[in-house]
Amino acid sequence: MIESFAQDGFCVLPGALSIEEVTGLNEAIDDHQLQFPDGWPDRGEGGRRQCVSILLNMPVFDHGLLHPEILPLVSRLVGKELVVEEHSVMVRAPIAGNPPVSKWHRDRPNNPDHEFGLEALSLVYYLTDVDETTHCFSVVPETVETKRGENLPGCDGSSARDVLGPAGTALLFNAGSCHAGRLRTTTSERRTIHIYFGHASHAPLSNHTPMPRRLVEHPDEDVRRLFSQPNEVTRSSLCPTVP
C-alpha cells in the first residue's frame, strides 16, 4: 500500500468495513437524520448533504477513526505528529436529469518537506456500493516527486481514475491531490464517511468538526494524542476543560 500511495498519491483498501459494520453505520445515519435534520444542510451539487457533527451523538463512528488495521497505515504515511482534523458524513442524492459538472479541486496545498508531500491525508469509507452506474469519487494519480515539486500540473480531471467498490471499501488519498465527486444520472444514493488527518505542529485544517469529549479525554493516551489539536469549535464546546 505504501508503494501504491507513493506512486499515485492514493490507495484503495477493499473490505475495510464488514457488512455488519456498514449496516450499523447506515442505521446510525438514518437515526441521526430523523433526530437532527438541521445537521444535514443541502450543500448543492445536485443534492449533497453533509453532516460534520454526527460524532457528537453517534459513537458507532469512532471505529472508522480508530480502525486497528487502517490507523497504523495512516500513522506511517503522516508521521509521528498525526492528529485527527475533520470528520463528516456525506449523502449524495439520486439525480434524475443531467448531473452537474464535476468540480475538480485540491483540498490543501502539498508539503514539499514531507516524505509523501502530505499537508493532510484524507480517509474515505464507502457505505454504499459504488460502480459505473452511481456517483463515485474520482482522483488524479500523481507521484510523490510531483507532489513535492514546485510546479503542480493543472487540476482539470482529464486523467482522473474513478474509485469503484462495494460498500465497506476505503480510500486513502493525499488531500493535495486533484479530485472530485463524479456525478451521474442514477437512482442510487451514495453515502460516504470523510476523515482528514494532519500534523500536530500545524494550525488546525478547519473549524468544521466538533470533536466529542469521549475522544478528546479518552482514557487511552494514544487516542488522546490523536485529538490533541482541537479546533476552535471543539475548544468552545469543551471549555473550560480544554485550554
Q: How many CB atoms lie within 10 A of CB 43?
A: 10
Does residue 63 have a pLDDT over 70?
yes
Residue-level pLDDT at 111: 92
Instruction: Give per-residue pLDDT as tens, 65-88.
Output: 999 999 999 999 999 999 999 999
Is the residue at 243 inside a domain?
Answer: no
Instruction: Give per-residue pLDDT as tens, 170-203.
Output: 999 999 999 999 999 999 999 999 999 999 999 9
Give the CATH number for residue 75. Answer: 2.60.120.620
Q: Is residue 241 very low, low, confident or very high in pLDDT (cuts 50, 70, 90)?
A: low
Residues with Cβ within 8 Å of residue 241, at least 6 apart in sequence: 213, 217
Domain of 34 in residue numbering reads as: 2-238
Residue-level pLDDT at 46: 82
Residues with Cβ within 8 Å of residue 110, at least 6 apart in sequence: 117, 118, 119, 147, 148, 152, 174, 176
Residue-level pLDDT at 243: 53
The Cα 101–Cα 28 span in angstroms is 31
Residue-level pLDDT at 96: 95
Domain count across the chain? 1
Residue-level pLDDT at 230: 92
Is the residue at 220 inside a domain?
Answer: yes
Residue type, 60: V
Q: Which of 76, 178, 81, 89 is nearest to 126 (CA)?
A: 89
Residue-level pLDDT at 240: 64
